Amino acid sequence: MQIIDLHCDALLKLYEADGKIKFADAPELDTNRERLREGNVKVQAFAIFIWPGMKAEEKFQAALDQVHWFYEDVLGNNPDMKLIRDWSDFDSLKEGETGALLTLEGVDAIGNDLKKLSILHRLGVRSVGLTWNNANLAADGAGEPRGGGLTQFGREIVAFNNEHRILTDVSHLCEKAFWDVIEEAEYPIASHSNARAVRDHVRNLHDEQAKALWSKGGMTHVVYCPAFIREAEQVTIDDLIRHIDHFCSIGGEKHIGLGSDFDGITDKVDRLSDASMQPNLINELLKRYSEDQVRGFAYRNFLEHRPR
C-alpha cells in the first residue's frame, strides 16, 4: 500500500554532511531513496529546518543550502524522484516514481522579510510551519512559556500562504498561536502531531484543537517520535495506533495521515525505525481497520483534503 509521509528531516542531515553522504543509499538517512522504495512511500515531504541558535544573518543562507541539496542530490541524482510543485502533481506520478514535497519547519530563516518566503515558495515550498518549539517573529512555539499568539508578521505569513495555496502547519505552535491560525488559515494542517488525550505532551493536540482543524478541512498526521506517543522506555506500533484509534473515536477518521519525523528523531518506535519499515505499521493497522480505512490513513485522506 502506498504512503504519503508529511514530515522528515533528511535535508538537515544532507546539509550538515555537506556532500559527504548521498540520498540514494546513505545508511545515516532514515528516508534515503532505497528505504523509501522498500517502504512503499509514494510521496515524502522534506522539511527545511534551521536551528534556533544559528546566527540570524546565517539562517536564510542555511535554508538555501538545504534547498540546494534537495535539488542537487534528492532530485538531481535520482531521476525517479519527482518534484511536487503543484497539488495536481500527486496525480501525475507514474509507477516507480516517488514525489518529493518541499516544506518549511519554522520561519526563522526569513527573519522579518516576506520576500524571502516568496523566494522559498518559488523554489518549491508548499507547506509552512510558523515556528519550531521556540518563539520567533511570527509566533510563539510549543516550548515558549509565554504562549503568545500570532504577531502581525505571523498574520501576514498566513495571508501569503492563503493567497498561494500553501499549507499552514500548526504542529509546533503554542495553543494561542494555534487558535489564531485556525481563525485565519485557509489550508491548516498538522504535519506531525499526536493526541494529547493519549499522551499529555505539549507537542500534541487537544481534542478541541483536532476537531477545529478538521472542521476547516485540515489533516492530523500522526508522528512516530516515541516521546509524543507514550512515556515508556520501549514504544511499540500498538502504542502509536492508540493515537489513531483516539482520533477516529472523536470523528477524525477521514482526517488522519502519517508524518513520521524520520531523520529528526533519534529514539524510534520498535519495528518502525526507518522508512523501509512503514509496511509494519500498515500491516498492524490492517488487523484493526478495513483496507479502505487504512488506505485513507496511508495516503487517500491527504489527497482528498489537499488544496485545490
Region of 147 on the Ramachandran plot (φ > 0 left; ψ -120 to 50 alpha; else beta): left
The closest alpha carbon to 81, from 111, 46, 106, 50, belongs to: 46
- Cell numbers standing for residue 110: 526569513
- Do the strands 188-189 and 220-222 form a parallel or antiparallel pair, or are they unpaired? unpaired
Amino acid residing at 61: Q
Contacts of 163 (CB under 8 A, 6+ apart): none
C-alpha cell, 295 = 488506505
pLDDT band at 186 (very low <50, low <70, confident <90, very high): very high
Q: Say what the pLDDT of residue 223 is.
A: 98
Which residues, including other chains, have CB under 8 Å from residue 110's CB and lie 6 or more apart?
60, 63, 116, 117, 120
Question: Cα(10)–Cα(24) distance, rounded to whole angstroms?
Answer: 12
- pLDDT at res. 93: 98
- Give Cα 92 distance to the centre of its chain: 22
Percent of the chain's residues with pLDDT above 90: 100
pLDDT in tens, 33-50: 999 999 999 999 999 999
Q: Give dist(CA 74, CA 229) in Å, integer.
A: 30
Taking the chain, what is the end-to-end CA distance rounded to the nearest angstrom?
24
- Torsional sign, CA 206, 130, 306, 161: positive
pTM of the full structure: 0.98
Tell me if residue 235 falls in helix, strand or coil: coil
- What single letter denotes the amino acid at residue 246? H
Q: Assign 156 to helix, strand or coil.
A: helix
Q: What angle do CA 28, 30, 35 make, to 5 degrees?
A: 110
User: What's the pLDDT tens digit per position in 219-252?
Assistant: 999 999 999 999 999 999 999 999 999 999 999 9
